Structure 1
Amino acid sequence: MSTRSIINSTTARADELVPSRYALRIGEIDVLVVSDGVLPLPTVMLGHNANPALRSAWLQDMFLPPDAFDWSLNVVMVRSGGKIILIDAGLGFDPDLNLPRAGQLAKRLEAAGIDLASITDVVLTHMHMDHVGGLLVDGVRERLSPDLRIHVAAAEVKFWEAPDFSHASMPPGFPDALRSAAKRFVKEYNSQLQLFDEQHEVAPGVIVHRTGGHTPGHSVVRMASGGDRLTFAGDAVFAVGFDHPDWYNGFEHDPEEAARVRVRLLTELAATGELLVATHLPFPSLGRVAVDGDGFRWVPIFWDY
């Protein structure tokens, strides 16, 4: 049976045909993974220190295009202890970088029945524009609660006062866009920032930990309840990072430390068997980690309906 035979193509919009949210429970904690869309980026961003032939071979083995492909962009909603928490806020707007298929968060939260005013807390893994931009969309701030708390590592805010891009390898235009978004974000939300040093409990069973590496204040969010555990890894893990955790992602400001963080995190997750979600793994990005020789193996979940 063809898809066209079961879907009225005259009424269905293309974005309705693609899953954009996935719900699960971690003990007593409700979790909703939401897609903010996709980012088309050059494949060299997956490992700019890698041998080009090896990088091309990996892309071919994964049936991915050789030059550019779409990176998923995931955020997470969490409900625990009476708090409703948004972890990262997606791209939100397109700062003239030709990223029209990202920035879907507001409409997808609305489609899920989530009122922006109901969000009590935001946790930022870091302040790259694809993690804070959703809060910079025109009209969004006015719809948020005036008591909203935004949790971010103090080292992250400090870094963006004078960011260092000397070890990153980004396409043209991105450094300026990242600087601009971070500066604007701090200016608009400064009074609501809740800074922490190394870790902070946002809600029962929801703890944010600073890892550094990707950015100095990059953090992961660990959730635990009733024997269940889940880690939202932000940008500590990318799709290629299981097979080649030593490859440097172009957006990493300290790629050597980012690789060390990645190996430590993947080793721990493989030992505990807990669930992993990450910003740029294919939606819904839920799975587990297994050790595979000198590297790791990604084990996606079976979807639970």
Structure 2
Amino acid sequence: MSAIDTPVRPASPAHDELVPSRYALKVGEIEVLVVSDGVLPLPTQTMATNATPADLATWLQHMFMPPDAFDWPLNVLVARSGGRTILVDTGLGGQFPDFPRAGQFPMRLEAAGIDLADVTDIVITHMHMDHVGGLLVDGIKQRLRPDVRIHVTAAEVAFWQAPDFTHTSMPTPVPPVLRATATRFMEEYREQLRPFDDTCEVAPGVVARLTGGHTPGHCVVDLSSGGERLTFAGDAVFPVGFDHPDWHNGFEHDPDEAARVRLALFREVAQNGALLVATHLPFPSVGRVAAEGDAFRYVPVIWDF
């Protein structure tokens, strides 16, 4: 039995949380763990920049969400396949004091009994700070093995050499922080980066593939084993996207392309029956997509424990 599917007692009382923060499942022979990195408070207008304020307010009320700000879930993934342990994204990190409820991933990984020294591969869906920041926490790089492989698309690496924010609609302080965090990440992990073009088989049944949209180099990760499938969609999918896939998110660098990617992904997983996990869906973010004509519905799985 592995640490993923065997309950592990917290290493210290500090890890003894009342609210569950990890969820284990299997995709065929691939062991999967979804881990919550916490939540990130954001203004609601970033959720739908091309919707009218009245339409957005109606949707928020319908979803019992506050009108001005909301908690953005942050999920990361751990997978074990073919003797390799893969992290998909790494959360925000603890270096942003304005977001004290995020950056929980390193502690929660340790509480799950997973040693960073056992990680062989890391897939970065894109280089926004809530996806690479966990690697920039003090002491994390020293705990990783020197030969860890960090997979990111070549298009993403190229984009952050001179990032374009002209089509985004973020809070004003955010772009400089995103740029600085991506730059620091590339500087600190340049030797471990393994850029790829369109697809990359990270481990048996674990494939990263370029989608673009949210950022030019955004990728998703497909798990496939024994006739079962799971897609980790990164930031291609947001909660509002099931009801309004054409609504633009303020953090999308190419909103029109992001909407096309989102629709294509919904159609794909609705057809192939794959489980869907995404960074910003409510934890544990494991469900399926049902298609009803041109409309989509998210169907959470029943927790199995």
Query: One-letter code of the match for 1:187?
Result: E
- Measured against aligned partners, the alpha-carbon deviations of 1:203-238 in whole angstroms (never above 9, x if no partner) come to 000000000000000000000000100000000000
- Matched with 1:213 is 213
- 5+ residue gaps, structure 1, are 1-10
State how far apart, in whole Å, the 1-side matches of 2:176 and 2:94 are.
15
Q: Is the 8 A contact 2:15 2:111 kept in 1?
A: no
- Greater Cα shift, 287-296 or 67-76: 287-296
- Matched with 1:262 is 262
Q: Is the 8 A contact 2:15 2:108 kept in 1?
A: no
Residue 224 (str. 1) matches residue 254 (str. 2): no
- Matched with 1:113 is 113
Residue 125 (str. 1) matches residue 125 (str. 2): yes
- Greater Cα shift, 270-279 or 293-302: 293-302
- Please show how residues 4-153 of structure 1 align to structure 2 within 5 Å: 16-95=17-96, 98-153=98-153
Query: One-letter code of the match for 2:187?
Result: K
State how far apart, in whole Å, the 2-side matches of 1:172 and 1:285 are.
29
Instruction: Give SS of 1:89's match.
Output: coil
- Matched with 1:155 is 155
Residue 197 (str. 1) matches residue 201 (str. 2): no
1:15 CA displacement: 6.8
1:293 CA displacement: 4.3
1:130 CA displacement: 0.3
TM-score, reference length from structure 1: 0.94
Query: One-letter code of the match for 2:290?
Result: A
- 5+ residue gaps, structure 2, are 1-11
Instruction: Give SS of 2:213's match.
Output: coil
State how far apart, in whole Å, the 2-side matches of 1:173 and 1:286 are.
32
Residue 172 (str. 1) matches residue 172 (str. 2): yes
State how far apart, in whole Å, the 2-side matches of 1:12 and 1:69 are.
29
Instruction: Give SS of 1:135's match.
Output: helix
Instruction: Give SS of 1:201's match.
Output: strand
Q: Is the 8 A contact 2:166 2:253 kept in 1?
A: yes
Query: One-letter code of the match for 1:57?
Result: T
- Matched with 1:272 is 272
Residue 185 (str. 1) matches residue 180 (str. 2): no
Query: One-letter code of the match for 1:250?
Result: G
Instruction: Give SS of 1:145's match.
Output: coil
1:95 CA displacement: 3.4
1:172 CA displacement: 2.0
State how far apart, in whole Å, the 2-side matches of 1:58 and 1:274 are.
27
Percent same amino acid among aligned pairs?
Answer: 68
Q: Is the 8 A contact 2:211 2:220 kept in 1?
A: yes
Q: Is the 8 A contact 1:167 1:252 kept in 2?
A: yes
4+ residue runs over 3 A deviation:
11-15
Q: Is the 8 A contact 1:94 1:100 kept in 2?
A: no
1:171/1:25 CA distance change after superposition, 3 Å: same
1:273 CA displacement: 1.4
1:294 CA displacement: 2.8
State how far apart, in whole Å, the 1-side matches of 2:121 and 2:293 are.
40
Q: Is the 8 A contact 2:42 2:69 kept in 1?
A: yes
1:99 CA displacement: 1.0
- Matched with 2:3 is none
Q: Is the 8 A contact 1:95 1:177 kept in 2?
A: no
Residue 290 (str. 1) matches residue 282 (str. 2): no
- Measured against aligned partners, the alpha-carbon deviations of 1:53-90 in whole angstroms (never above 9, x if no partner) come to 11100000000001101011000000000000000000
Q: Is the 8 A contact 2:285 2:300 kept in 1?
A: yes
1:292 CA displacement: 3.1
State how far apart, in whole Å, the 2-side matches of 1:294 and 1:122 are.
35
Query: One-letter code of the match for 1:28?
Result: E
Instruction: Give SS of 2:147's match.
Output: coil
1:13/1:115 CA distance change after superposition, 3 Å: closer
How many residue pairs get aligned? The number is 294
1:94 CA displacement: 3.6
